[in-house]
Every structure is written in structure tokens, then in C-alpha cells.
């Protein structure tokens, strides 16, 4: 059985058992926990003695991750942040510590293949992977529940990524960390200083989304000020109908765009889409995030919440812990240009 369908099949199997044997919820959770532990042990055994080809999963798109198809679960739709600073970081560490070789086949969301194609010769997208029927003994799922907790969780007994005080393997791994396949951006005029917005419209955690009207008013203020604007995010083409506003067509283009020395400011809410700025950007760029649900107060000590330990580009970040008016947000960004 392919591990690609494990999560779906596992839950279906557990539900059938519960119905047949009238198991209480606690028993169901216990069975699931045992299954996760067995999967974890199998993964570690594969890494201890890899027999190639092995397939290493760094991101999945069981759901689309937009306003209509989404779920708050990185093993179903992997956030950009989870991939860049957890699974990709660990993959690079496995490579440079010689646990794996470049013979490994990397499995990721299709539009993120650029994160790996300069490092590994064989990269396939998750949807293609699901059709291949790869046996479990050849699969390393970095998004498996137990392993993912050891990589990015802050309560696991084992911490497999040495994040603090600054990612400890950075000097060893920095060439690969900064290496991605850049695009040509032929449709983008980068000749002048510009601002960018990552507009979040996901169905998961909708409380982090600003209204469409908010973004329209913010962008209009920059149009009036004759400051070029770029917009990145699923379902955001509608914000780019006016001259001076350019829709960033895909993730590879977004990662390439923020390496430009004319990228002066990026604005967004608390979303993983801004993480390429911290990984691939430059200190000339500033980042202003609307934290209206005050997530930083609760989670700011965690690497996945914009922590300085993974801010490899040394980008200054400011957090606004309320919903600003469009004018207030414009002034916050405009003052740094």
C-alpha cells in the first residue's frame, strides 16, 4: 500500500473499526497513536539504511489551500512556512550530514519544485507521486505526525532541528538553503523601488484574513502615490486590475521577486507566504505583519512564528497587533520607502 493515501485510508479504517466494534473515542485515539508510532519507527529505519530510490515527502496538497478547499493541517495542505523552515531545512540537513544522498527523489507540491530542482536531480509533485503506488519501505514522510512534531514542535522529547539561538547548521547548509531555481520574471518591471503584498484568502484560520475592501483601499493608496505594487496569493488576481499593480503568477516568481534589491517592503497578515522574504530576501526589505489575533504573544518563541533564529536574510519585522485602517497601514509602509 502506498503511503500517499495513508492518512485517508487510516482514518477510514479506524472509523470502520469503531462502527463494527462500537469502540469509544479514547480507544480510537489510542489505535491511531499506535499507528503513528509504527509509521515513525519505519521512517527512522529507512533513514538509518536507505536503499535507493527512496521518496522523501516535504509538502502535500490533498487540499488546494484557498477559500474553498482548505483544512488547518500541514499533512493535508502544507503551509509555505512549514516547508521552508521545517521539512526543507531538515531535508538539507539530512543531505549535508550524509544521511541521504542526491539519489533521493523529492516529493513536494508542484509549484514548489523550484525549491529543490537545483539541489536534487529528481523532484516530482505530490499529485504524480500518489499515482505511482510506491511501497512504504521506500517512503520517508517528513510530515508524519510523530516526526513532524520532533522537527517543528516545542514539546517533543526529541528536537531534531537545532534552531536556537540561531539555526546551528546555517554555515554548513547556507548554500543549499539559499539555492532555488529562479525564474526570469519577464512580465515584471523591477527597475524602481516597489512594495509587495501577500494577500491571504485561505479557508483555514480565516480570522487571519483581512477583508477584500481593506486590501483594495491599501493598494489604491499606493497607486495614488505612484509606488509600484506586486500582489502574491491564491485568488488575488482581482486586486491587480489597475495599472501599477502586478499579479505574481506563481511561487517560484514570488521567491525570485523578493531577491530584488528594489524590494523595499512586504505587507501581509500572519501567513506563511512571507517566509521566502526571511529565507531568500535581503535586509533592504522590511516586513509589516498584521497580527490582529495576537499570535506573537502566544507563539512568538517558536521558530515557525517569524523567530530570529530562522531570519536568515536579517529582515526587520514589525507586528501590528490590531486591525489598522488602510491609511494607517499605508503610512506604516510608506514611511520606510
**pLDDT above 90 (res 134):** yes
The domain limits of the chain are 3-177, 194-334
Task: State the pLDDT at residue 157.
Answer: 73
Provide the pLDDT confidence category of residue 4 given band limits of 50, 70 and 90: very low
**pLDDT above 50 (res 22):** yes
For 3-158, where are the alpha helices, taking DSSP H only? 6-21, 25-48, 80-82, 88-96, 126-129, 145-152
**pLDDT above 70 (res 30):** no
Task: State the pLDDT at residue 31.
Answer: 59
Task: State the pLDDT at residue 15.
Answer: 54
**pLDDT above 50 (res 72):** yes
Task: State the pLDDT at residue 24.
Answer: 67
User: Chain-wide mean pLDDT for the chain?
Assistant: 91
- Secondary structure tally for the chain: helices H, strands E: 12, 10
How many other CB atoms sit within 10 Å of the CB of residue 47? 14
Please state, in angstroms and as integers, the Cα–Cα distance from residue 17 to each residue in 145, 287, 335, following that order: 21, 49, 60
pLDDT digits (tens, 9 = 90+) for 304-332: 999 999 999 999 999 999 999 999 999 99
pLDDT digits (tens, 9 = 90+) for 168-224: 999 999 999 999 999 999 999 999 999 999 999 999 999 999 999 999 999 999 999
Provide the pLDDT confidence category of residue 16 given band limits of 50, 70 and 90: low
Task: State the pLDDT at residue 25.
Answer: 64
Nine-digit cell at 147? 516526526
Judge whether 210 and 290 are in contact, CB under 8 Å: yes
Q: Which of 86-100, 143-157, 217-231 has the lowest mean pLDDT?
A: 143-157
pLDDT above 90 coverage of the chain, percent: 79
Q: Among 257, 301, 299, which residue's Cα sits nearest to residue 281?
A: 257
State the Cα–Cα distance between residues 318 and 337, nearest whole angstrom: 15
Q: Which CATH number fits domain 194-334: 2.40.50.140, 3.40.50.9100, 3.40.50.2000, 3.40.50.10440?
A: 3.40.50.2000
Exposed (0-12), middle (13-18) or buried (19+): which is 323, by Cβ within 10 Å? middle
pLDDT digits (tens, 9 = 90+) for 109-128: 999 999 999 999 999 999 99
Task: State the pLDDT at residue 1.
Answer: 33
- Which residues face 197 on adjacent strands? 231, 267
Strand arrangement, sheet containing 194-198: 245-247, 229-232, 194-198, 263-269, 286-290, 317-320
State the Cα–Cα distance between residues 100 and 264, nearest whole angstrom: 38
CA 115 centroid distance within chain: 11
Judge whether 305 and 86 are in contact, CB under 8 Å: no
pLDDT (average), residues 58-70: 92
Task: State the pLDDT at residue 36.
Answer: 81
| DSSP reduced 3-state for 250 | coil
Amino acid at each position: 500500500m502506498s503511503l500517499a493515501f495513508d492518512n485517508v485510508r487510516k482514518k477510514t479504517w479506524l472509523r470502520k473499526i469503531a462502527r463494527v466494534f462500537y469502540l469509544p473515542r479514547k480507544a480510537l485515539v489510542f489505535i491511531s497513536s499506535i499507528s503513528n508510532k509504527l509509521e515513525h519507527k519505519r521512517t527512522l529505519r529507512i533513514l538509518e539504511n536507505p536503499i535507493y530510490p527512496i521518496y522523501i515527502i516535504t509538502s502535500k496538497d490533498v487540499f488546494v489551500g484557498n477559500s474553498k478547499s482548505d483544512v488547518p493541517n500541514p499533512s493535508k495542505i502544507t503551509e509555505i512556512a512549514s516547508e521552508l523552515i521545517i521539512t526543507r531545512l531538515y531535508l538539507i540537513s539530512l543531505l549535508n550530514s550524509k544521511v541521504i544522498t542526491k539519489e533521493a527523489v523529492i516529493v513536494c507540491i508542484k509549484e514548489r519544485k523550484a525549491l529543490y530542482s537545483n539541489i536534487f536531480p529528481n523532484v516530482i509533485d505530490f499529485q504524480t507521486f500518489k499515482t505511482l503506488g510506491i511501497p512504504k519501505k521506500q517512503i520517508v514522510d517528513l510530515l508524519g505526525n510523530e516526526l513532524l512534531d520532533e522537527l517543528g514542535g516545542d514539546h517533543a522529547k526529541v528536537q531534531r532541528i537545532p534552531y536556537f539561538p540561531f539555526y546551528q547548521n546555517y554555515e554548513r547548509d547556507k548554500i543549499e538553503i539559499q539555492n532555488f531555481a529562479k525564474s526570469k520574471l519577464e512580465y515584471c518591471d523591477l527597475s524602481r523601488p516597489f512594495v509587495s503584498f501577500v494577500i491571504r484568502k485561505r479557508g483555514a484560520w480565516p480570522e487571519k484574513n483581512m477583508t477584500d475592501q481593506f486590501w483594495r483601499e491599501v493598494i489604491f493608496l499606493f497607486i495614488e502615490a505612484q509606488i509600484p505594487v506586486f500582489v502574491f496569493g491564491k485568488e488575488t488576481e482581482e486586486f491587480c486590475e489597475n495599472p501599477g499593480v502586478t499579479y505574481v503568477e506563481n511561487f517560484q516568481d514570488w521567491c525570485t521577486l523578493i531577491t530584488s534589491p528594489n524590494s523595499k517592503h512586504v505587507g501581509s497578515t500572519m501567513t506563511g507566504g512571507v517566509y521566502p522574504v526571511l529565507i531568500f530576501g535581503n535586509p533592504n526589505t522590511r516586513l509589516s505583519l498584521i497580527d490582529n489575533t495576537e499570535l506573537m504573544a502566544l507563539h512568538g518563541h517558536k521558530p515557525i512564528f517569524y523567530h530570529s533564529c530562522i531570519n536568515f536574510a536579517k529582515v526587520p519585522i514589525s507586528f501590528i497587533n490590531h486591525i489598522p485602517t488602510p491609511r494607517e497601514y499605508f503610512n506604516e509602509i510608506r514611511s520606510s520607502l
